Amino acid sequence: MYDTIIIGKGPAGISAAIYLKRSNKHVLVIGKDNGSLYDGVMIDNYYGFPGGITGTELIERGVKQATEFGIEVLKEEVIAIDKLDHFTVTTNKNTYNAKTVLLATGKPRTTLRIKGFQQYKGKGISFCVTCDGFFFRGKRLALIGFNDFMLHELKDMEFLTDKITVFTNGNPLTVPVEGYPVIEDKITEITGDGEIAKGIQTENGHYEVDGIFIALGSPGAVDFATRIGALVEGTNLVVNDDFQTNIEGLFAAGDTVGGVLQVAKAAADGMHAAIALKKLLKK
């Protein structure tokens, strides 16, 4: 059991990890990619780097600093978190347990910009099989996705119905799907009767369905957190002055909570969250 699992290896996540580790907390960092600090980004307004530093190098230095302190940093993709008496974090490779979780995944970058999507959200389009699946027992369901995240949702969906079609929206399938049709066309529209969604229009055909579940790309902090009831405003997780969400033990820091999207602010968030986490773990 870890004291804290930190999801995200950017400035917020790694800063928090370092502060926690130096207080002898048992921490694990799980990060998939560099998020918005990719190679093409030059950071030239952060303290201590004359001439600037690329996003990739900054991340690499942060990870190196963390591992030199003895912090485990795993390159895995988190696909779900859950909370019963403690937190479980499920990745594409394993499941980890922790007393607390810090979400520092940055801003989500996957949305579906197609006609009908905004209109039918919550009216036939759902983002959470375990939350809304109940309303679609025995119905014809579409699952939009192409990777481990999709497969995780597909497993939950099999309890509801066997009439499932997977739509990859033009993405190549990266996981095996057995027993269900897979449509690899690009989706052009979510069709409906004005009140609820009724189908999926792709480049090459129309498919009538009763419900549409989205598990596209990589889930971000907001995806994990809303499934267990965290409060979200717009695209930001809502936190208190201690960077704790409305769920005890679930913290968030950095771009995930909004404000200025800057390295200095993310690092400061991470530090503040770590101090609050230490207090909570002492209880």
Partner 1 sequence: MAITITKENFKNVVLDSKEPVLVDFWAAWCRPCQMLGPIVDSLSTEVEGLAKVVKINVDEQPELANEFRIMSIPTVLVFKNGKVANQAIGVRSKDELRKLLGV
Q: Which spans of this chain sit near partner 1 (rule: CB under 8 A)?
A: 121-124, 126, 130-132, 134-136, 195-196, 211, 226-233, 238, 246-247
Determine the residue type at 232.
V
Residues 232, 226 contacting (CB under 8 angstroms): yes
Our CB check for partner 1 shows the closer of 47 and 134 to be: 134
Our CB check for partner 1 shows the closer of 73 and 237 to be: 237
3-state secondary structure of 119: coil
CB of 227 to partner 1, least distance (A): 7
CB of 196 to partner 1, least distance (A): 6
Q: What angle in degrees, to the nearest 10, is found between the helix axes of 263-282 and 11-21? A: 40
Closest C-alpha among 128, 108, 121, 55 to residue 258 = 108
CB of 173 to partner 1, least distance (A): 27
Our CB check for partner 1 shows the closer of 227 and 265 to be: 227
Tokens in use for 105?
């995944």
H-helix segments, the chain: 11-21, 55-68, 129-132, 148-157, 221-227, 263-282
Residues 129, 116 contacting (CB under 8 angstroms): no
Residues 190, 197 contacting (CB under 8 angstroms): yes
Residues 191, 200 contacting (CB under 8 angstroms): yes
Residues 145, 168 contacting (CB under 8 angstroms): yes
Residue owning tokens 């960077």: 243
CB of 251 to partner 1, least distance (A): 16
CB of 232 to partner 1, least distance (A): 7
Our CB check for partner 1 shows the closer of 26 and 227 to be: 227
Our CB check for partner 1 shows the closer of 37 and 81 to be: 81
Tokens in use for 172?
């190549």
CB of 257 to partner 1, least distance (A): 14
Our CB check for partner 1 shows the closer of 130 and 202 to be: 130
